[in-house]
Structure 1
């Protein structure tokens, strides 16, 4: 599962920043020369749909396919998506390109939440061994992100855009083959069957519902593709992105309300769901800032950063590597910090860790306010790469305090029968972040210099305010979770101490 996730993240992170630069690049440079606000919205919609698809993906795995088959089918769809994008370069038509993105969205929805759930299933006892297992798993994520952006960025910017796209597809195909060959030997029965209701009649009804709604969803998607391809329907990406953001918020609210009211939860489970909902809200705020890196910050590197080293111009996408490199370097430091606190019986709750992470993120964007003002003061000059390196240092510290803590908390707090779905809903926070990150990308433009400081200032204020509010909320949350400690639950799951990084 380490290598499967590594290759999948190679393909995802290798492709995403390349999409932004490819679509804004002039036609003479092999790109499409599209408006930045349109491109940012498209990339934001694509990336948000990747995470949004995790919700039905977890549901389909829970009720119909089982986790293992969902991962296998998801990897196959992702590979098909990259192949289709590659074909678009040969036929010089945009339809295969967008079809490829749709296949990647569907495939990642099946793969992403369910492989994480399988890692949790390896350690049914939870605790330190589960945290250590997730630490190994997340190292694979970051290695994949690092080498993916390094290779696809160089190929895409220096040789040809579709060479970079194709390299991402080859990586996912390797991950698919590896999982197909190794999972029967290493995973025993883990994830081999969906969860089953004890009543066969109810089980059959549930499976029929999954097939029906999945079929309806795919049919509607195919209809939209046909209407757009034939010119009957025209899509304005920024408007669609804005409405999609509202829809994501509504979906999350509706799901938590359904789970709380109609999920048949015990009092203890309802308290856990409340904590999950709080963590979800603040994770969405963090990712809304963090996911500006492949769009707005990527364009800042492309337009306003001095990338010359000798006679070689560093590809702009290589700045995306800094995040993964810092995670690999800083993760042992953070792990040592948790150990240091643990030896002194100091266990920070998940909300407190989230607040610290939001504070680091606010500091990172505060730095970019100064960088943007230097650019404006020089009339659009290129600034030192140290601005972006410092930014990525602090945003990575924020990620280390939020992402692994959140995922570990989800696997611990989720009612067992809803774990796949809750892992899916958790990724909606990332979906919302990706969407907002794409929608604001148009604010980083050589022709609109005055917009950059406003963007970075607004982001800083949101992150700082969220950090303060969460510190205040941490006290009643801790009190509530303390009340649920009893004979059946001696450990406070908001005090999980995962070792490592990302996603």
Structure 2
């Protein structure tokens, strides 16, 4: 069949389906909008309120700003769960991505309006938009290729380059526009980026007609029902008792927790109580000791994910404010915008992703320890070491009244190297251990753990107001390194509990996928 008569969705460009490049640019502009806005978020909230000044912010305290930042980043990830469920069970990934892109465009557009109602409304729309788009566009990339197509890995590599390019260019351009013209122009530029992404996606629909369509009746019936799992909870007195106690404590927290968002924490604890009950029922329904042992290791990997993001996400919160307030950003007579430092993460990913992936591949070929648990633990340790440079920055600030930019750059470098060791590996490891019939539910739990880690990051950032940055950065360094070392000490018994889940793996040369599978947390 010649190209003249070949269906649009079967046409290729540079050896890959044209649909891949449609999704590439859609995701690139989506990440441009998200990371561009994220770079400004805490800076805008803590900026002084000034009359008729484009640099006027909300004038919030650091505690208030970091608290909202934590809630916001947590909800972005938690909304991926209903977003994926709606696509899988109701409308398909293609329509879900369209809805998500429209919500994001509207959200960023509203954020460009200088009014407090617009700020909250815009953030809400962005949360809903990312929840609909984020979990579904990656699924569509996989759907472009047949099950055993050897091009699939390279396709994901290309796709993840788009994520990093969007993040990197956003931090530079949006940050510069906000510094020169004002916050809302920066928010507006992020919205223009998302609008371009929406236009690309709608224009390219003819190349995506065979992926992301509405699920069939058979596909809907194959999913595990949440209602079924929770109904079984009422038949298990011990598990039901544990959940009831947790729910009572959650309600108590809602009434007694000090602070303006006490019921926010109460609702969060209620959700965590229900998730605990769900996890217990899954464990009870597993078949055999092998599945149960692997499930235990899977829960530990979730804990590592939570710890990692709880520390790492200081980047967009506390460290972002530190760059603004306490870092000497003068370079050759020009002040570097604080938001530019947020681009360091994506830039380092582009530079070091393949090198890190090749390091682990060569280590595995030599027969040295390169299991997923080991990589994840090393990732936590490397990320923790990055906070040493923030300790040095804090000491320099106490001595001189400001600290050098290179401390932040070095911290971001180590955080990124740790990210490349943990994040692409953790998601892959999760799919190896999770019971197949509960895979969709467990992937939701994975994103929930990521979101909870983001909220923990906000809480830690809030503590710096009383404890000071030096104690917080030092504490994060000590805790992360000790936690990673503890996992390494327990490595042998933990690997036994996986029952050889990774023993038959081989290293494929010239495979770049793992290195790029991260920019997007």
Using the size of structure 1 for normalisation, the TM-score is 0.82
Q: Is the 8 A contact 1:14 1:149 kept in 2?
A: yes
Matches within 5 A, 1:160-239: 160-185=182-207, 187-194=208-215, 196-197=217-218, 239=262
Q: What is the rounded CA distance, in whole Å, between the counterparts of 1:423 and 1:71 in structure 2?
A: 18
CA separation of 1:480 and 1:437: change in aligned 2, threshold 3 A: closer
The alpha-carbon deviation at position 433 of structure 1 amounts to: 2.3
1:60 maps to which residue? 86
Kindly indicate whether residue 479 of structure 2 is the aligned counterpart of residue 462 of structure 1.
Answer: yes
Partner of 2:73: 47
Residue of structure 1 equivalent to 2:159? 137
Contact residue 44 and residue 435 of structure 1 kept, 8 A: yes
What's the Cα RMSD here? 3.2
Give runs of aligned pairs for residues 180-329 of structure 1, distance below 5 A.
Answer: 180-185=202-207, 187-194=208-215, 196-197=217-218, 239=262, 242-243=265-266, 246=269, 249-250=272-273, 252-261=275-284, 273-329=295-351
- What is the distance in 1 between the residues matched to 2:178 and 2:98? 28
Alignment-derived partner of residue 499 in structure 1: 515
Distance 2:344 2:42 in 1: 18
Q: 1:407 to 1:207 in 2, by over 3 A?
A: closer
1:476 partnered with 2:476: no
1:61–1:420 Cα contact (<8 Å) kept = no
Name the CA shift for 1:205/1:367 in 2 (closer, same or farther; >3 Å).
closer
2 CA distance for matches of 1:194 and 1:269?
Answer: 29
Q: What is the CA–CA distance in structure 2 between the aligned matches of 1:326 and 1:477, rounded to whole Å? A: 32
Q: Distance in 2 between matches of 1:133 and 1:35?
A: 44
Q: Distance in 2 between the 1:259 and 1:472 partners? A: 28
Q: SS where residue 514 of structure 2 aligns?
A: coil
- The question of whether the paired residues in 2 share the 8 Å contact of 1:256 and 1:273 is answered with no
Mark the CA change 1:398 to 1:421 in structure 2 (over 3 Å): closer, same or farther: same
Query: What is the match of residue 214 of structure 1?
Result: none
TM-aligned CA distance change 1:458 to 1:282, over 3 Å: same
Counterpart pick for 1:348 among 361, 367, 370? 370
Matched-pair contact (CA < 8 Å) for 1:256–1:277: no
Superposed displacement of residue 97, structure 1: 1.7
Aligned to 2:42: 20
Which of 1 and 2 has higher RCO (CA within 8 Å, sep 6+)?
Answer: 1
Task: Note the alpha carbon deviations across 1:53-90, whole angstroms, 9 max, x for none.
Answer: 1111122122112222222211111111112222x32x
**Residues in 1 aligned to 2:144 and 2:291: alpha-carbon distance in whole angstroms:** 22
Taking the TM superposition and a 5 Å limit, the aligned residue runs for 1:60-99 are 60-86=86-112, 88-89=113-114, 93-99=115-121
Superposed, 1:113-128 pairs within 5 Å as: 113-122=135-144, 125=147
Is the contact made by 1:2 and 1:137 (CA closer than 8 Å) also made in structure 2? yes
Q: State how far apart, in whole Å, the 2-side matches of 1:174 and 1:412 are.
A: 37
Q: Quote the offset at 1:205 in angstroms.
A: 13
C-alpha separation between the residues in 1 aligned to 2:284 and 2:148?
27
- In structure 1, which of residues 429, 433, 439 is the aligned counterpart of residue 453 of structure 2? 433
When residues 205 and 130 of structure 1 are mapped into structure 2, their CA distance, relative to the original with a 3 A threshold, is closer
Unaligned runs of 5+ residues in structure 1 are: 210-234
Distance 1:26 1:394 in 2: 32
- What secondary structure, in the 3-state scheme, does the structure 1 residue paired with 2:60 have? coil
Following the alignment from structure 1 to structure 2, what is the Cα–Cα distance between the partners of residues 286 and 238? 25
Q: What CA distance in whole angstroms lies between the structure 2 residues aligned with 1:120 and 1:268? A: 29
Distance 1:240 1:363 in 2: 35
Once the 2 structures are TM-superposed, how far is the Cα of residue 9 of structure 1 from its aligned partner?
1.1
- Report what 1:102 is aligned to: 124
String of CA shifts for 1:96-125, please: whole Å, max 9, x gaps. Answer: 221111111111111112223333445564
Task: Work out the CA distance in 2 between the residues paired with 1:184 and 1:275.
Answer: 43
With structure 2 as the length reference, what TM-score do the two structures score? 0.79
What is the Cα deviation at residue 310 of structure 1? Answer: 2.5
**Bigger Cα Rg:** 2
SS at 2:317 equivalent: helix
User: Deviation of residue 149 (structure 1)?
Assistant: 1.2
